Structure 1
Amino acid sequence: MDAVITQLAGLTAALNAAAAESPRGVAVQWLTSPNDRLRIAGIGLTAGSELAEHDNPGDAVLQVLSGAVTVFASGDEVDVLADEILELPHARHRVVALGPSTLLLIQVVRDSVA
């Protein structure tokens, strides 16, 4: 087996540092995935920074590795804290960091409709 292992504490530290240096306060690092349907991203956010409203192209969960964020979708909002996982809605949504935060996004991309 050719396993790819990512050490989450190291990823968190690197993303926090990169987000702190970013003018937008956002850092994204795509991680190696075992196939084309699974997308995995580490995301670092500074306090108050935001992932602007965007579509969800597949089934996805958002795990907060450190900090806390608010996810806004369809007129609702939910706070997600460190060590929590949220299934993301199949709707446009945005994410705002309540403090310095690191996230892990795991997404299964939907098949294209021909």
Structure 2
Amino acid sequence: MDPIALDLDVMAAYLLTQAAENPQRRASQRIDLGYQQLRMTAIGFDTGGELPEHTNPGEAMLQVLRGRIRLSDATRTIEVAAGTVARIPDGVHSVEALEPSVMLLTALPLPGRNDH
């Protein structure tokens, strides 16, 4: 049976613990709700943890579940706080945690684009 629900609070607490223990100051968990194309990944960060510059593989957004992150691309930088959703820039971008944070990344890969 495919899972149809996931407790985000439990997952967020787990990822924050894992990120605090990881030298890279981040931890991730793929979320499998049975979709064929849509990809969801939860990423926990300790303060200063980051996803260095990388390219968006398609249409993507992030939702901050806990904490506050900085999302940057070549033309702008925005801070995204818990309870906020943001579109991932189409080009090269990076993410940095300004405090212990958890974000949910939802992406629909498009043909011909590189993967995260």
Within the alignment, does 1:100 sit opposite 2:100 as a pair? yes
For structure 1, the 5+ residue unaligned runs are none
Which secondary structure state, in structure 2, belongs to the residue aligned with residue 48 of structure 1?
A: coil
TM-score (norm 2): 0.91
* Runs of at least 4 residues off by over 4 Å: none
1:96 and 1:3 mapped to 2: Cα distance? 30
Q: Which amino acid aligns with 1:41?
A: T
CA contact (8 A) 1:60 1:106 kept: yes
Count of residues in Structure 1 that have an aligned counterpart in Structure 2: 113
C-alpha RMSD of matched pairs (Å): 1.5
8 Å CA contact 2:3–2:32 kept in 1: the answer is no
Tell me the distance in 1 between the aligned counterparts of 2:4 and 2:43: 19
Runs (5+) with no aligned partner, structure 2: none
Map 1:1-114 → 2, pairs under 5 A: 2-112=2-112
Percent of aligned pairs with the same amino acid: 35
Query: Residues 41 and 106 of structure 2 are in contact (CA less than 8 Å); yes or no, is this contact kept in structure 1?
Result: yes
Q: State TM-score, norm by structure 1.
A: 0.93
